[in-house]
Amino acid sequence: MPELPEVETIKRTLEPKLTGQSFTEAEIYLPTIIRIPNAEEFKKQIAGQKIKSISRRGKYLTINLSQNLALIFHLRMTGRLIYCHADEPLLKHTHLIMKLDSGNELRFTDVRQFGRVWLVSVQKLDTVSGLKDLGPEPFDTAFTREFLKKELRRRRTRIKPLLLDQTFIAGLGNIYADEALHRARIHPKKLACNLDARETSKLYITIREVLQEGIDNRGTTFRDYVDGDGQCGSNQDLLQIYNREGKPCFRCKTTVVKIKIGGRSSYFCPYCQKE
DNA sequence: CCGTAACCCTGCGTGC
DNA sequence: TGCACGCAGGGTTACG
C-alpha cells in the first residue's frame, strides 16, 4: 500500500532517470484507470511532452511536463510505476505503457485496478479528485505542533480514522498510522479531542518519525510495493505493530490485538495503548 | 459533523 | 486437489 514514504521513494528513484526525457507515445490496455482525459486524448496529448520534474503531494505523484501539463498518479493499494527498458518482459496487470525517447518505458501496473491516472493542465489541477482537498504535508512547516493540537481539540472523531483522513493530514495510510499511534502509546479508538497535551506532542513527533524512517528504509513492502526500479523496500522488517496480531508487543510482550475501526483493520497493544 | 457501509477489483488464505 | 468463500484495502459516495 503505497503511503507517503513509498510514493516519496518512487519519486526519488524516477526523478533522475525521467527528468529531461520526452514521452513519444502511450499504449493503454485498461482505459478505466485514466480519469482525465479519454484514452484517445491522452495518447494525443502526451506524445512529445518533455519531463521537467517530478513532485509528490500526499500519496499523489506528479510528473510535470512541458506546456503546463501535469501527469498525475495515485497508486491506491497495488499500483506500481516502474521505469525499465522496452525489452523487459511485461508484468501481469500492466495497464499503461508510456514510451520515452531513450528507448525506455514508464509502466503502470495494478493488480486491483484501483490506481488512477490524470493528464491535466496545471490550471485544472482542481479537477484531480482529492488533490486540492489534501491536508498539510507532514514535513511541511505548515504542519506544526500547534496546528495538530488545535485541530485535534475540535474533532469529535476517533484518532485512527482521523489520521487516515487525507483532508486532515496528507500521506498517512493504515500501516504508518498504526505505527505512529503505537509509538505514541495512543489507543486507535481514543477520541481526538480527548488526547492530552503530552499525547498530542508525542503523536506529532511519532508521525514524522515513522514516516521519515519509512523513507530512510525505502518504503514498506508488505506485498505489492516496489520503487521506480522495481526494488522492494525494507521498512517491513522494522514495523512494531502493523500485521502483528497474536504476536507479543516488542515493548511489553502483551499480545497484539487487531480490531476494526471504520471498516479498516487496526493493530494495537492493549497494554501500551489504553483506551 | 460523524459513523457506517457499499463499491471498485484480484489474489490469497482458509475450511470443507 | 479443488472449490466456495471471505478478506484485504484507499478513496469516494450514499445514507442515517
Q: Which nucleotides of C are covered by protein (CB under 7 A)?
A: 8-13
The average pLDDT across A219-229 equals: 83
Region A190-203: what's the mean pLDDT? Answer: 93
pLDDT band at A59 (very low <50, low <70, confident <90, very high): very high
Q: Find the nucleotide nearest A178 (Cα to C1′).
A: C9
Residue A101 (CA) to nucleotide B6 (C1'), in angstroms, measures 44
The reply to whether A58 has its C-beta less than 7 Å from any atom of strand C is yes
Cβ atoms A84, A104 nearer than 8 A: yes
**Quick count: other Cβ atoms within 10 Å of Cβ A269?**
24
The domain ranges of chain A are 4-132, 145-268
Query: A51 pLDDT exceeds 90?
Result: yes
The answer to whether residues A110 and A79 touch, using CB atoms and an 8 Å cutoff, is: yes
Domain A145-268 in CATH 1.10.8.50? yes
Omega cis (within 30) before A2: no
Mean pLDDT of A24-39: 93
Of 2.70.98.40, 3.20.190.10, 3.30.365.10, 3.90.1720.10, the CATH number of A4-132 is 3.20.190.10
Give the contacts of A207 (CB within 8 A, at least 6 positions apart): A138, A163, A169, A172, A176, A180
Q: What is the pLDDT of residues A104-136, one digit of tens each?
A: 999 999 998 999 999 999 998 988 988 988 999
Confidence of residue A245 (pLDDT cuts 50, 70, 90): confident
- Taking residues A223-249, report their average pLDDT: 86
Quick: pLDDT tens for A156-187.
888 999 999 999 999 999 999 999 999 999 99
Residue nearest to nucleotide B2 (CA to C1'): A157
**A210 pLDDT above the threshold of 90:** yes
Quote the CA–CA distance of A58 and A38 in Å, as a whole number: 25
* pLDDT given for residue A23 in this prediction: 97
Q: Is the CB of A135 under 7 A from strand C?
A: no
Catalogue the active-site residues of A.
Answer: 2-3, 59, 264
User: Could you tell me the distance in Å between the CA of residue A125 and the C1' of nucleotide C8?
Assistant: 31
Nearest protein residue by Cα to C1' of nucleotide B5: A263
Percentage of chain A surpassing pLDDT 90? Answer: 72
The residue-averaged pLDDT of A234-259 equals 89
Task: Kindly state the average pLDDT of the residues A71-75.
Answer: 94
Gap from A251 CA to C2 C1', in Å? Answer: 43
Question: Which protein residue lies nearest to nucleotide B7, measured between its Cα and the C1' atom?
Answer: A114
- Give, in Å, how far the C1' of C8 lies from the CA of A264: 9
Mean pLDDT (whole number) for A49-71: 95
Measured CA to C1', what is the nucleotide nearest A112? B9
The spacing between the Cα labelled CA in A127 and the C1' in B16, in angstroms, equals: 49
